[in-house]
């Protein structure tokens, strides 16, 4: 939703054609055993030249210059689910091209340092001295895990069911898409051939030596090394209980820093069992539970810690923080202003909990699952406020470091997007790998007709399927502005221009992903950093499905155009607007379009336009609709009525401001009970319509005019402006600052509200 889809552009069509040709040529060689493999020495020499040039490019990028990479999604294939003991060893020169060698494994040693392109690449060799490039996809190359942390010269690995392919430079390489298809072997592992083993001194280290090396690595923030050292220490025979506890506690800390919360928690929990109340281990367990968003358990753990150690100030502070999260989680009590402040940081990762109380996942007839209300809710009410599962921020600001936007191309779905989706796939795969407890909730998201393997683990390790994650990201990703508020009201914001279009920052939100589409939305989504906020855009009875639009229903659309925009998700929308679009004949549409053209001219007439003619034309356009607006919104009408409202505002024609503003609302399907300014005042929304962003402005016009002519209605209009603001922006804590100020200036200082809102432009 709201991502930058480039499918159909000239550049995309040309790249797709080229890629299809390459794939076709490669397929022709399927099953062939290459006879022209280069010698080990030559492969390494050529790789090192590439390695040096990539090093130079990396330096260039770190100076703030961004290289736009293109990632092609490979032809999907399932991850290996076979236990290692059932696989047969295969040498590189026995492999066939374009073939997944099911039932086999390759034992390989790293012969060069790694480089990073779209994948982490290096040269590997087998025991017979055959060498090829190994491409490891979905490996992070971030502050947490540099390629060098994962791949070390001389490191030994097993690639399960390897896949040999031709590469773009004409050479051959092993491609590993599933991170769980590769198993790195520890130094002392019996499967490492004798000739590849480390020096005896490495293997013979004592637990204490490993622990000290681990401590030094931890101090130097070489966290992967620290974990390896502690793990080796724990494998050593003569380790005392006390030593085991210290090593586990230290490993827990290293894993916590690496965001491997499951493992960190396992180590800490083992140490803080029923009878052993270790202050440090309880604190560490609480930290892991917090990061895993298990706030209730975190609270219990901290309470237990504080009972035994009441003077632990850090734990008390952590308890207060956890209590805030619990209030967010239980009653939806958020400090939105503080969230906006936090979202100013880059990347805008927020420290908040997820609230889902008013909604639950249920089956939605003909649409898979959907999100349903658990009780009656009113327009503006918070339905969901959710922390992203994964979130990749693409900065467009100077000096914010290299943006991670790239092109993600898929030859199978024939779709291309620009943004951070490729990074989002990697981040999601890696988060699942680091924290297997999170795999089920992510894997259960909608994945179309992709058939994942049934096994969830093998040899005691989790199985993570990259192509399942790719499908899930394609069907569930949200394009996110840094904040929705910013794109509404800050004309200088770099994202302002992107308003209502696409965003390069992307996120996966598990609960929000269950919301189905309807053009006639009854909920709206907004963002503050990596939090999505979903509010009711109408009053919704209990047990009703909550829907929002995946793409905004735009004026002038046809049924075909509207469905075309939803093609990626593989369904046709059957909402009232779409059904009416389908029924509208070409003749009626042509008549409406001709009148709309005349209307444009009337607005462009000298001065402020020929308003009498515009009003006549609008009345004629109204007649081209057969269904009442209260049942089917009239998408083409709200904009011209809003334009009229602005013009009447600038002319101080208060009566007409009121009339045209109400017409904006009724075109969008609102039903409002109101009285003319000279009869007893009353104003009530009987039915909320399509809550477009500009409904905020519309209510604000009414608010300011009522402020002058019908003070008793002023408060009601302000209330509706505030609710609408909350629906569109996500909160109303910033309402007074952003809209209230404008309204007061208009009422008391004669400012032109229409002009103030013009920067929130309409077509």
Ligand X SMILES: C[S@@+](CC[C@H](N)C(=O)[O-])C[C@H]1O[C@@H](n2cnc3c(N)ncnc32)[C@H](O)[C@@H]1O
Instruction: Write down the number of H helices and E strands in the chain.
Output: 27, 28
Nearer to ligand X, 521 or 624 (CB): 521
In this structure, the dihedral spanned by the alpha carbons of residues 531, 536, 537 and 538, taken in order and rounded to 10 degrees, is 180
> For ligand X, which stretch binds (CB under 6 A), given 129-137, 198-206, 362-370, 618-626?
362-370
Q: Which own/partner contact pairs does 435-442 have at CB distance under 8 Å and 24+ positions apart?
A: 435/259, 435/260, 435/261, 435/262, 435/292, 436/262, 436/462, 437/262, 437/292, 438/292, 438/389, 439/464, 441/389, 441/510, 442/389, 442/469, 442/472, 442/508, 442/510
- Strand-pairing partners, residue 408, are 71, 417
Of positions 513, 580, 645, 700, contacts ligand X by CB under 6 A: 513
Half-sphere exposure of 131 (CA within 13 A, CB side): 18
Q: Is 367 in the site for ligand X (CB under 6 A)?
A: yes
Tell the burial category of 584 from Cβ atoms under 10 Å away from its Cβ (0-12, 13-18, 19+).
Answer: middle
> For ligand X, which stretch binds (CB under 6 A), given 86-94, 137-145, 276-284, 366-374?
366-374
Of 533, 535, 515, the closest CA to residue 381 belongs to: 535
Alpha carbon separation from 113 to 51, 151, 167, 202, 341 (Å, rounded): 8, 8, 20, 21, 42
Nearer to ligand X, 370 or 507 (CB): 370
Nearer to ligand X, 198 or 574 (CB): 574
Q: Is 556 in the site for ligand X (CB under 6 A)?
A: no
> For ligand X, which stretch binds (CB under 6 A), given 142-150, 563-571, 698-706, 709-717?
563-571
Closest approach of ligand X to the CB of residue 368, in Å: 3
Closest approach of ligand X to the CB of residue 547, in Å: 7
Q: Is 516 in the site for ligand X (CB under 6 A)?
A: yes
Closest approach of ligand X to the CB of residue 513, in Å: 5
> For ligand X, which stretch binds (CB under 6 A), given 63-71, 238-246, 364-372, 750-758?
364-372
Residue nearest to ligand X (CB): 368
Alpha carbon separation from 362 to 376, 478, 514, 546, 613 (Å, rounded): 16, 21, 9, 11, 51
CA gap 324, 355 in Å, rounded: 12
Q: Show the site string, 456-475: x = touches ligand X by CB under 6 A, - = not.
A: -------------------x
Kind of pairing between the strands at 406-410 and 104-110: unpaired
CA gap 342, 148 in Å, rounded: 32
Closest approach of ligand X to the CB of residue 370, in Å: 6
Q: In what helix (H) or strand (E) does residue 100 lie, and over which residues does it extend?
A: strand 99-100
Of positions 514, 592, 646, 714, contacts ligand X by CB under 6 A: 514
CA gap 553, 704 in Å, rounded: 29
Q: Is 368 in the site for ligand X (CB under 6 A)?
A: yes
Nearer to ligand X, 164 or 547 (CB): 547
Nearer to ligand X, 135 or 518 (CB): 518
Closest approach of ligand X to the CB of residue 511, in Å: 11
CA gap 631, 475 in Å, rounded: 30
Q: Show the site string, 565-584: x = touches ligand X by CB under 6 A, - = not.
A: ----xxx-x-----------
CA gap 267, 273 in Å, rounded: 11
Specify whether the backbone of 145 is left (phi greater than 0), alpha (psi in -120 to 50) or beta.
beta
CA gap 437, 434 in Å, rounded: 9
Nearer to ligand X, 28 or 567 (CB): 567
The residues in 433-452 that bind ligand X, with binding defined as CB under 6 A, are 446
The residues in 474-493 that bind ligand X, with binding defined as CB under 6 A, are 475-476
What does the radius of gyration of the chain's CA atoms come to, in whole angstroms? 30
Nearer to ligand X, 438 or 573 (CB): 573
Nearer to ligand X, 196 or 571 (CB): 571
221 alpha carbon, distance to own chain's centre: 29
**Phi, psi at 246, each rounded to 5°:** -65, -45
Nearer to ligand X, 54 or 566 (CB): 566
Closest approach of ligand X to the CB of residue 569, in Å: 3
Nearer to ligand X, 257 or 446 (CB): 446
Q: Is 517 in the site for ligand X (CB under 6 A)?
A: yes
> For ligand X, which stretch binds (CB under 6 A), given 124-132, 280-288, 361-369, 605-613?
361-369
Closest approach of ligand X to the CB of residue 436, in Å: 22
219 alpha carbon, distance to own chain's centre: 33
Nearer to ligand X, 144 or 571 (CB): 571
Closest approach of ligand X to the CB of residue 582, in Å: 14
> For ligand X, which stretch binds (CB under 6 A), given 186-194, 242-250, 363-371, 622-630?
363-371
Closest approach of ligand X to the CB of residue 446, in Å: 3
Q: If you write DSSP's letter for every residue of 359-428 in order, what string do you get?
A: EEEEE-TTSSEEEEESS-B-TT-EEEEEE-SEEE----STTS-----EEEEETTTTEEEEESHHHHHHHH
> For ligand X, which stretch binds (CB under 6 A), given 127-135, 157-165, 516-524, 553-561?
516-524
Nearer to ligand X, 463 or 577 (CB): 577
In this structure, the dihedral spanned by the alpha carbons of residues 551, 557, 563 and 568, taken in order and rounded to 10 degrees, is -40
> For ligand X, which stretch binds (CB under 6 A), given 210-218, 271-279, 515-523, 714-722?
515-523
Of positions 66, 165, 327, 369, contacts ligand X by CB under 6 A: 369
- Which tokens in the block code for residue 223? 């966290």
- In the chain the first and final C-alpha atoms are separated, in Å, by 22
Nearer to ligand X, 32 or 572 (CB): 572
Closest approach of ligand X to the CB of residue 579, in Å: 12
Q: Is 224 in the site for ligand X (CB under 6 A)?
A: no
> For ligand X, which stretch binds (CB under 6 A), given 39-47, 59-67, 203-211, 509-517?
509-517
DSSP tag of 354: -
Q: Show the site string, 635-674: x = touches ligand X by CB under 6 A, - = not.
A: ----------------------------------------
Closest approach of ligand X to the CB of residue 518, in Å: 6
Nearer to ligand X, 370 or 609 (CB): 370
Q: Is 559 in the site for ligand X (CB under 6 A)?
A: no
How many CB atoms lie under 10 A from the CB of residue 117?
A: 14
Nearer to ligand X, 182 or 512 (CB): 512
> For ligand X, which stretch binds (CB under 6 A), given 161-169, 263-271, 305-313, 365-373?
365-373
Q: Is 710 in the site for ligand X (CB under 6 A)?
A: no
- Which tokens in the block code for residue 584? 């509208």
Of 257, 285, 258, 260, the closest CA to residue 435 belongs to: 260
Tell the burial category of 31 from Cβ atoms under 10 Å away from its Cβ (0-12, 13-18, 19+).
Answer: exposed
Closest approach of ligand X to the CB of residue 519, in Å: 9
Nearer to ligand X, 356 or 666 (CB): 356
Residues in the interface with ligand X (CB under 6 A) total 16
Nearer to ligand X, 547 or 695 (CB): 547
Closest approach of ligand X to the CB of residue 517, in Å: 4
Q: If you write DSSP's letter for every residue of 599-614 in order, what string do you get?
A: HHHHHHSTTT--HHHH
- Which tokens in the block code for residue 153? 């010269």
- In the sheet that holds 506-508, the strands lie side by side as 390-392, 506-508, 478-479
Nearer to ligand X, 550 or 648 (CB): 550
CA gap 475, 473 in Å, rounded: 6
Alpha helices, H only, 635-692:
638-650, 654-667
- Residues of this chain that interact with ligand X (CB under 6 A) are 367-370, 446, 475-476, 513-514, 516-518, 569-571, 573
């Amino acid at each position: 939703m709201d991502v930058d889809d480039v499918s159909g552009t000239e550049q995309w069509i040309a790249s797709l054609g080229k890629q299809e040709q390459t794939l076709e040529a490669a397929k022709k060689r399927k099953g062939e055993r290459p006879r022209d493999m280069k010698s080990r020495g030559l492969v390494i020499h050529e790789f090192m030249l590439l390695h040096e040039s990539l090093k130079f490019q990396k330096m260039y990028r770190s100076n703030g210059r961004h290289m736009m990479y293109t990632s092609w999604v490979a032809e999907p294939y399932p991850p290996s689910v076979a236990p290692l003991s059932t696989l047969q060893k295969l040498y590189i020169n026995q492999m066939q091209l374009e073939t997944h060698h099911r039932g086999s494994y390759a034992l390989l040693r790293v012969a060069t340092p790694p480089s990073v392109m779209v994948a982490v690449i290096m040269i590997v060799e087998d025991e017979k001295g055959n060498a090829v490039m190994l491409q490891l996809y979905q490996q992070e190359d971030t502050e947490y895990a540099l390629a060098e942390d994962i791949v070390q010269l001389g490191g030994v690995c097993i690639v399960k069911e390897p896949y040999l392919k031709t590469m773009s430079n004409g050479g051959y390489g092993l491609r590993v898409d599933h991170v769980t298809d590769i198993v790195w072997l520890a130094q002392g592992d019996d499967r490492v051939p004798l000739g590849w083993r480390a020096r005896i001194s490495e293997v013979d280290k004592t637990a204490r030596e490993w622990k000290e090396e681990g401590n030094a690595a931890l101090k130097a923030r070489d966290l992967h090394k620290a974990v390896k050292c502690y793990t080796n220490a724990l494998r050593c025979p003569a380790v005392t209980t006390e030593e085991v506890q210290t090593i586990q506690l230290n490993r827990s800390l290293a894993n916590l820093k690496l965001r491997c919360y499951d493992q960190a928690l396992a180590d800490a929990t083992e140490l803080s069992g029923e009878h052993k109340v270790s202050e440090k281990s309880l604190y560490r367990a609480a930290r892991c539970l917090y990061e895993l968003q298990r706030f209730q358990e975190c609270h219990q753990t901290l309470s237990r810690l504080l009972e035994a150690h009441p003077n632990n100030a850090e734990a008390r502070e952590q308890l207060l923080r956890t209590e805030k999260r619990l209030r967010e989680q239980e009653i939806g009590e958020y400090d939105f202003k503080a969230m906006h402040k936090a979202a100013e940081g880059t990347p805008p990762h927020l420290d908040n909990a997820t609230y889902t109380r008013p909604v639950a996942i249920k089956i939605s007839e003909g649409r898979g699952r959907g999100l349903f209300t658990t009780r009656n809710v009113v327009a503006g009410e918070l339905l969901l406020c959710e922390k992203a599962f994964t979130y990749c921020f693409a900065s467009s600001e100077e000096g914010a470091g290299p943006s991670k936007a790239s092109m993600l191309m898929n030859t199978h779905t024939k779709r291309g997007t620009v943004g951070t989706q490729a990074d989002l796939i990697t981040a999601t795969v890696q988060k699942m790998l680091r924290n297997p407890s999170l795999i089920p909730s992510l894997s259960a998201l909608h994945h179309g007709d992709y058939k994942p393997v049934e096994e969830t683990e093998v040899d005691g390790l989790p199985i993570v399927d990259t192509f399942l994650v790719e499908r899930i990201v394609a069907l569930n990703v949200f394009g996110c502005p840094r904040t929705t508020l910013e794109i509404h009201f800050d004309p200088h914001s770099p994202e302002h221009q992107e308003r209502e279009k696409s965003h390069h920052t992307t996120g996966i939100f598990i609960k929000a992903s269950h919301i189905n589409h309807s053009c006639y939305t009854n909920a709206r989504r907004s963002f503050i950093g990596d939090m999505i906020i979903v509010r009711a855009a109408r009053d919704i009875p209990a047990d009703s499905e909550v829907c929002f639009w995946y793409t905004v229903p735009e004026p002038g659309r046809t049924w075909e155009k509207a469905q075309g925009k939803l093609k990626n998700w593989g369904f046709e929308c059957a909402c009232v607007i779409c059904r009416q679009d389908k029924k509208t004949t070409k003749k009626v549409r042509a008549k409406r379009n001709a009148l709309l053209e005349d209307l444009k001219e009337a607005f462009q007439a000298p001065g402020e336009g020929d308003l009498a003619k515009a009003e006549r034309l609008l009345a004629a356009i109204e007649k081209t609709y057969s269904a009442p607006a209260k049942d089917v919104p009239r998408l083409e009408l709200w904009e011209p009525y809003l334009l009229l409202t602005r013009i009447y505002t600038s002319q101080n024609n208060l009566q007409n401001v009121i009339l045209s503003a109400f017409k904006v609302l009724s075109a969008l399907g609102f039903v409002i009970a109101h009285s003319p300014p000279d009869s007893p005042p009353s104003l009530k929304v009987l039915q909320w319509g399509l809550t477009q962003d500009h409904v905020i402005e519309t209510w604000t016009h009414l608010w300011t005019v009522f402020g002058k002519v019908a003070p008793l209605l002023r408060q009601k209009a302000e209330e509706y402006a505030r609710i609408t603001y909350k629906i569109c922006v996500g909160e109303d804590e910033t309402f007074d600052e952003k809209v209230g100020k404008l309204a007061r200036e208009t009422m008391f200082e004669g400012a032109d509200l229409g002009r103030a809102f013009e920067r929130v432009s309409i077509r």
